[in-house]
Amino acid sequence: MPARASRGGREEALQEVGLQGITVLEAKGFGRQKGHTELYRGAEYVVDFLPKVKIEIVLADEMVDGAIEAIMKAAQTGRIGDGKIFVSTVEGAIRIRTGETGADAI
Q: At what angle do helices 64-75 and 7-16 cross, to 10 degrees?
A: 150
- Tens digit of pLDDT for each residue in 50-95? 888 899 999 889 999 999 999 898 888 998 888 899 999 999 999 9
Mean predicted confidence (pLDDT) in 90-104: 94
Rounded to whole angstroms, the Cα distance separating 62 from 18 reads 11
| CA-wise closest residue to 85 among 95, 99, 72 | 72
Residue 29 clears pLDDT 80, i.e. is over it: yes
User: Do residues 52 and 29 lie in contact, with contact meaning Cβ atoms separated by under 8 Å?
Assistant: yes
Give 97's DSSP letter. Answer: T
Architecture of domain 7-105: 2-Layer Sandwich (3.30)
Residue 22 clears pLDDT 60, i.e. is over it: yes
Please indicate, yes or no, whether the overall pTM of this predicted structure exceeds 0.75: no
pLDDT given for residue 8 in this prediction? 59
- 95 vs 30: which has the higher pLDDT: 95
- Tens digit of pLDDT for each residue in 32-50? 766 677 778 888 877 778 8
Sort strands 36-40 and 43-47 into parallel, antiparallel or unpaired. Answer: antiparallel
Q: Is the Cα dihedral 96, 101, 103, 104 positive or negative?
A: negative
pLDDT given for residue 15 in this prediction? 80
| CA-wise closest residue to 47 among 39, 60, 55, 37 | 37
pLDDT given for residue 47 in this prediction? 77
User: Could you count the other beta carbons within 10 Å of the beta carbon of residue 103?
Assistant: 10
